[in-house]
Amino acid sequence: MKIIHISFHIQEVEDITELTAAERQLIEASQQMVENAYAPYSEFQVGAALLLENGQIIKGSNQENAAYPSGLCAERVAIFSASANYPGVEMKAIAVSAKTVHHQSDQPVSPCGACRQVLLEYEFKQKQPLKMFLVGSSGKIYLVEKVSDLLPLSFTAHELGRL
C-alpha cells in the first residue's frame, strides 16, 4: 500500500492593509452582506462578494428557510447571480465573511462542501483560478489562490467524460 500526501498552501493575512484597495473593498462588501443574511434558524450569518473581470462586485448572503434544504448559502447566491447576469464574464476573486450570535470568532470561515463544489465548477468552466478571501468576525484573513486547493480529489466534468 502506498501513502499519497495531498497538501496546499494558504496565505495568512494579519492586517487587511497588506491587501490591495480592490481586495479590501471586496472583503468589506462581504462583511456588509453578513448583515443582510436571513439566518433565523442557524443564527450563522454569511456574506459573500464576488469580483468580476469587468470590475463589478456581485454580492450574496445566506438565505435560510424553515424547510432547511430550501435555503441557499451566500457563496452560491453570489456566484449564481453573477453567472445569470454576467454570462461569460470571468470571476476573479470571492470574499466570504461570517458571524454568529453565539460567539465571536477570529478564525476565517471556509465554505461548506456544496459551495466548494459549485465554486470549483465555475473555476473549472472559466479555466482560470478563482482567488478566495476567507474572513471571520475579526482577526486574520486567509487567502487561497484557487478554489481547487480547498477541494482536493474533486469531482469534475473530467470524471463524467465530458472533456
* 145 a catalytic residue: no
Cell of 130: 478563482
Q: Pairing mode, if any, of strands 57-61 and 91-100?
A: unpaired
Which residue in 43, 75, 123, 159 is the catalytic one?
Answer: 75
Handedness of CA 39, 90, 15, 29 (dihedral sign): negative
The C-alpha cell 473593498 sits at: 25
Burial 21-42 (b: 16+ CB within 10 A, else e): eebbebbbbbbebbeebebeee
Task: Spell out the alpha helix ranges (H) of 35-134.
Answer: 74-85, 113-126
Catalytic residues: 75
